[in-house]
Amino acid sequence: MANKEMYALGSQGSAIRELFAYGQAQATKVGKENVFDFSIGNPTVPAPSCIRESIEHILATRESAAIHGYTAAAGDLAVRKGLADYMNQTYDAGVGADNFYMTCGAAASLTISLKAIVEDPDDEIIVVAPFFPEYTVFIANAGAKKVMLPPDTDHFQIKLDELEAAITPHTRALIVNSPNNPAGTVYSRETMEKVAAILTKKSAEIGHTIYLISDEPYREITYDGLEILYMPAIYPDTLVCYSYSKSLSLPGERIGYILVPDSVSDKDVYPAVCGAGRSMGFVCAPHLFQDVVLQCLGKTSDMSIYDDNRKLLYNGLKDMGYDCVYPQGAFYLFVKSPEPDAKAFSDKAKALNLLIVPADSFGCPGYVRVSYCVEADMIRRSFAAFQKLIDQYK
Amino acid sequence: MANKEMYALGSQGSAIRELFAYGQAQATKVGKENVFDFSIGNPTVPAPSCIRESIEHILATRESAAIHGYTAAAGDLAVRKGLADYMNQTYDAGVGADNFYMTCGAAASLTISLKAIVEDPDDEIIVVAPFFPEYTVFIANAGAKKVMLPPDTDHFQIKLDELEAAITPHTRALIVNSPNNPAGTVYSRETMEKVAAILTKKSAEIGHTIYLISDEPYREITYDGLEILYMPAIYPDTLVCYSYSKSLSLPGERIGYILVPDSVSDKDVYPAVCGAGRSMGFVCAPHLFQDVVLQCLGKTSDMSIYDDNRKLLYNGLKDMGYDCVYPQGAFYLFVKSPEPDAKAFSDKAKALNLLIVPADSFGCPGYVRVSYCVEADMIRRSFAAFQKLIDQYK
């Protein structure tokens, strides 16, 4: 008498959540300082001061209804206008307020975008391994089929031949996530230009547009001065899904947006985004935080802390002999398991109170994800355990 | 290349939104003071002072991650525990933290609940006219069919014979909304006990549970000391959908919950609610406002303002000869159109800059909804126009 699929989704734990819960329980037994929890991607760097200042300013200067009342379904007009101006200044985006639909975070951005473009139960959405496991759930919610490209374990870019081969007349969209969770890599301009060429060619072949859904919650978290790509400039039929969870350390506040640029060829897509938001009950993103992000446009949390963590962890593990993917963005280090079964490797780590996530559920067996949005001191203290762990393989 | 159903939902305006937009445009022509906008249910009474005080207290006393970080998918444990304690003290509810799923507002509470219990495209959800028009959209999103009970225009309770006759082997749930938008009436204990008896009898007959989905955003907005019913005590298989939008004047902040009490016979329902939330991207309701509502449990906006408006409007219109439904709760006056076509009546009102919503889209032709969550002064100033309007029918 309950929906069986929803029951399964709600009762089955994720590998990440289980490890996190284990860590919390273990901390009460062996002491918090002896558990090295690298499982969760919850930002530890504080939100920038503008967040608190804007909340205080808004509370001090506006009437209750102007702070907490309904906004338009797509979001407050002044917020969307400010956002458009910012995107135009930063990326020469050529967008206006009506290109934006404010959402309740990254997950909402994705479920709404997918529901807006999926038309048929045979529709296929291509994801690139390794990928965020909830994509599977969101694609099912939209009533489509997931098609997975195998990981490019040489460079963690996109296997272009495999992409071309995976496209069928049922292909509706490709989801890319760069900077990538969990690989920590960034798709290069070269990669994305080649992807765009394939999507353009195949769209013509199959007789309908293949959308690019660019999931960009880590957009501003890149290192070594790496270029940030504005995807619609590379592929016109791009929907940008954004969230302020990571860039402003606001994951719990659920605030983000969908950008449907004018370059999207079908003018029905933006109204369909509005309709999909409405159908799931996603109208009017949280109002106070709409205004807060408007006042903090262009600001981010202190990313140098993640960069320091990155260097500390990458160099530390590399020196011990771990095979690590060089992290270009986000806050995850992707490490090759010294044995083929990453779950077994993760279990051996767990016995040392070292919590790292096997990447099987990310579509990339044989690797583990190590989140470095943690205290630098914990990274340092974890090195003895990491050393013991790799010694078992020598 | 966009989903046609979503496109239609996103591009078709609602009668309410259209009137509201007309009012805003008209105000620039004839002056704001000469437009009498009774179209929208956006609370005008300020949020109580505890809202601002709790935000300030939380900002002053907690670390960034504890304010803005992720909570558990179902909501922060301390928040759900506090909510359970409050419900136990107030309604003797016998609930715990694990009976609650915190949501992003009333719409989310409904879409998640429906998706959790609908299993089959033939499943039917019964709604009672007059009803909130978005129910139609939310039921379609869950993949079920809407079955509408005609309005009881004598008392605006529920036509029990019609309810019994409407139940089929496909019936999955009945949605009730009391205090009611748009009728402003409250279902009596007697009505709900009779509804419960019918649902119990018919559940046994058809061989599966019929759920009661109790949509209660107006729960605390009742007048004349009317009893507030705790629905699960009347019918055990009840899911309570709540939002703080109206009681705390926080419609833009999207904060509410689903309560699945232990009396719900199928223990899979709560996990299915968690799964449905996850599938649509609704995990972790806005964090700061989870904590704010915890600190404001039992508080409400100043309801005496709505009560004063209610008396002013009801008595004023009754004295002019309008046929009004006596309002027992919420902040809507339901008025019988003096001509059969409420749309034509609303158009005549519009010509006098009087914006009232024909109730056709609420499933109740021949009536209009007059929202009195407005300034009392506007009500007084509107009387001349209301008088002119009814004079046209004399």
Give the model's confidence band at B102: pLDDT under 50 very low, under 70 low, under 90 confident, else very high.
Answer: very high
3-class SS letters over chain B: CCCHHHHHHHHCCCHHHHHHHHHHHHHHHHCHHHCEECCCCCCCCCCCHHHHHHHHHHHHHCCHHHHHCCCCCCCCHHHHHHHHHHHHHHHCCCCCHHHEEEECCHHHHHHHHHHHHCCCCCCEEEEECCCCCHHHHHHHHCCCEEEEECCCCCCCCCCHHHHHHHCCCCEEEEEEECCCCCCCCCCCHHHHHHHHHHHHHHHHHHCCCCEEEEECCCCCCECCCCCCCCHHHHCCCEEEEEECCCCCCCHHHCCEEEECCCCCCCCCHHHHHHHHHHHHCCCCCCHHHHHHHHHCCCCCCCHHHHHHHHHHHHHHHHHHCCEECCCCECCEEEEECCCCCHHHHHHHHHHCCEECEEHHHHCCCCEEEEECCCCHHHHHHHHHHHHHHHHCCC
Cβ-nearest to A272 among B10, B51, B55:
B10
Q: Tell me: the pLDDT tens digits for B172-206?
A: 999 999 999 999 999 999 999 999 999 999 999 99
Identity of the residue numbered B154: D
Distance CA A359, CA A355 (A): 13
Window B:249-268, CB contacts with A under 8 Å: 249-254, 265-266, 268
Give the model's confidence band at B98: pLDDT under 50 very low, under 70 low, under 90 confident, else very high.
Answer: very high
Q: Tell me: the pLDDT tens digits for B146-170?
A: 999 999 999 999 999 999 999 999 9
Contact flag B9-A278 (C-beta cutoff 8 Å):
yes
Q: Measured between CB atoms, does A217 come within 8 Å of chain B?
A: no
Measured CA to CA in angstroms, residue A324 lies from A310, A361, B19 at distances of: 11, 19, 60
Identity of the residue numbered A196: A
User: Which pLDDT score is estimated for B1?
Assistant: 79
Contact flag B276-A3 (C-beta cutoff 8 Å):
yes
User: Which pLDDT score is estimated for B236?
Assistant: 98
Q: Measured between CB atoms, does A121 come within 8 Å of chain B?
A: no
Q: Which residue of B has its CA nearest to A254?
A: B286
Q: Tell me: the pLDDT tens digits for B310-355?
A: 999 999 999 999 999 999 999 999 999 999 999 999 999 999 999 9
Q: Which residues of chain A have pLDDT under 50?
A: none
Interface test with A, best of B4, B5, B7 (most A CBs within 10 A): B7
Span A4-47+301-391: which CATH code? 3.90.1150.10
User: Average pLDDT for residues B250-260, to the nearest whole number?
Assistant: 97
Q: Where are the domains of chain A?
A: 4-47+301-391, 50-295
Q: Tell me: the pLDDT tens digits for A153-192?
A: 999 999 999 999 999 999 999 999 999 999 999 999 999 9
Contact flag B43-A59 (C-beta cutoff 8 Å):
no
Q: Tell me: the pLDDT tens digits for B114-140?
A: 999 999 999 999 999 999 999 999 999
Q: Measured between CB atoms, does A60 come within 8 Å of chain B?
A: no
Q: Which residue of B has its CA nearest to A70?
A: B252
Contact flag A209-B254 (C-beta cutoff 8 Å):
no
Distance CA A294, CA A296 (A): 5
For domain B68-295, the question of CATH label 3.40.640.10 is answered with yes
CA distance B340 to chain A (A): 31
Q: Which residues contact A180 (CB under 8 A, 6 or more apart)?
A: A130, A156, A186, A187, A218, A329, A330
Residue B40 pLDDT greater than 90, yes or no? no
Distance CA A216, CA A178 (A): 6
CA distance A321 to chain B (A): 34
Q: Which residue of A has its CA nearest to B70?
A: A252
Q: Measured between CB atoms, does A46 come within 8 Å of chain B?
A: yes
Contact flag B5-A43 (C-beta cutoff 8 Å):
no
Q: Which residues contact A101 (CB under 8 A, 6 or more apart)?
A: A74, A75, A112, A257, A258, A260, A270, A273, A274, A277
Distance CA A241, CA A277 (A): 13
Q: Measured between CB atoms, does B289 come within 8 Å of chain A?
A: yes
Q: Give the residue from A218, A217, A211, A182 showing the smallest Cα distance to A103.
A: A217
Contact flag B279-A9 (C-beta cutoff 8 Å):
yes
The token pair that represents B256 in the structure block? 């509410």
Measured between beta carbons, which residues in chain B are less than 8 angstroms from residue A70?
A: 42, 251-252
Q: Which residues pair with A125 in a beta bridge?
A: A146, A173
Contact flag A68-B270 (C-beta cutoff 8 Å):
no
Span A50-295: which CATH code? 3.40.640.10
The reply to whether A4-47+301-391 and A50-295 are identical in fold is no
